[in-house]
Every structure is written in structure tokens, then in C-alpha cells.
Structure 1
Amino acid sequence: MRLIDHERHARAMDLRTIPVHLGLGSSAKPVEGFAWDPEVLHAYSAAVAADGAEGRMVMIFDGEGPGEHWESHPAGDELVVCLSGSVTITRDVDGVRDQVRLGPGEATVNPAGVWHAVDMEGPSSVLAITATLGTDHRPRTGARPEDAS
């Protein structure tokens, strides 16, 4: 995993495979070799640590069906935009649930620190702009995110 300076990355990129890190000073750096692997996530966190709570990851996710995990972003809000299909975001605040259903072009904000899960009804695609510092994931096995720890 490495961050690429935009001067050396003058080509189109697919945000499904090469996310972009938005950092301090309005910087935007493609993240080459990113993967949802503990070692890569650790390397990414170390590479962007200086951006602190201001750093953001921009990525597109494709899928369908229920999400496999709860997640929370304590360092900041997350913007989720439905690009295609239909997506339901379920939030859990102290055991109280709310849901937001999104169609193409619609968006919602997951507030900092709020546990949420994403379900895609049929083939769907979402764009996420996420505060990555301290992000936590828990399996979606318990009735509440706290039950999965």
C-alpha cells in the first residue's frame, strides 16, 4: 500500500479498486494497493496519521444483500451516496434504531460515533466519504453492535 502524488498519477482511476485519501491542505492522494486486510489497514493508518481526524477516504462499494458488519467512525461524519440500486442504512444509537432508504443520487450522513450497517437491495453501488481515524467494525451477529464485541 502506498499513497501516490497526483503529479505522478495522471490517469483515470476506478474508486472501487483505488480509493483516494483526502488530507490536510486539500490534498488528494490515490491509495495504491489498498485492501481490507489488517496489515494494509495498519500501513494506511500510519501513512495518513498526520491528517488526524481531518483525513477522509473516498471509495465506491458495489454489492447486494445485507451488510456483514456494523461500523462506527468516531473521528467524524461519513457521507454515503447511492449511485445505483437501492440502499438502506440502519443506525443504532443506544439501542434505538432508525433507517434511511436511498435511491440513485440520494445521500445521507452517518454522524460521528454512530454505529451503522448498510444493506443493498439487489445490485447496488454506493460512494462513501469516510473519516477513517479510529474506524471500528463489528460482526453483524448480535442484536446491537455492542453485542458483537
Structure 2
Amino acid sequence: MATIQVSVITPDGAVYEGDAELVVVKTVEGELGIKAKHIPLVSPLAVGPARFIKEGKEEQVAVSSGFVEVRPDHVSILAETAERPEQIDTERARKAKERAEQRLASEHVDRKRAEAALQRAITRIDVAKHKGA
């Protein structure tokens, strides 16, 4: 099956470089699956995992907002933050999840910020499960 080049880049540098038969990202409009020769597009990303599938194996990167730019031969994910599974401190992510849940239980809280923090923590925990996969 044809592959497409993939780059995940943050302000701190490249987090992932490789090729995949299928790239799946979470945009603000929903999930987007991308294969080689996809039509060009740019879309804002939501917090979620970016998934890269090749030869039946899947790699993931936790992405915290940004943009995806698709060209027929390359996908660029320009993210505010991005972490590979082995870069994620699972205990720190669990504590962040607990703090966000506690804030959401409070009456005087910026709900949007707390919900975003909760989603980032859940994404990091889920992607961390792919360590060594």
C-alpha cells in the first residue's frame, strides 16, 4: 500500500518523522483519515492522539491543538505540544487529570480551561499506553 510522509512539529522541534499508510488526526470538526494522494487541506486540530498506521502497526503521538496541513505526499502536524508515548510521565498525567476533575466539581471555575486540561490529561494517559507498542 502507498505511504505518505508524516512530520509532527512543535515550537521545540520535530517530535515524529516517518511514513504511514494511514494517518488519523482529531480536528475541531471530527476525526480525519489521510492516505497518500489525499487532496490538499489545512484544518485546526483538537486535543487528541495523532495515529500513524503502517503494515498493521500503529504509533501514536499525543497532540495538544495546532494545525494539520495535508498535501498529496506529506502530512505536517504543527502542534502547540506533542509527546510520543515514551516521553509521557504517566503519574504526572494522572495527577493533572485528578486536578482537572476537582476543578470541574467546583462551582467557581473556568469550565472551558478545566475541560481542556482534563482532555489533555486523558489523551496523554491513553497515548502512554502505547509505550513499546
TM-score normalised per structure 2: 0.29
More helix by share: 2
TM-score by length of 1: 0.26
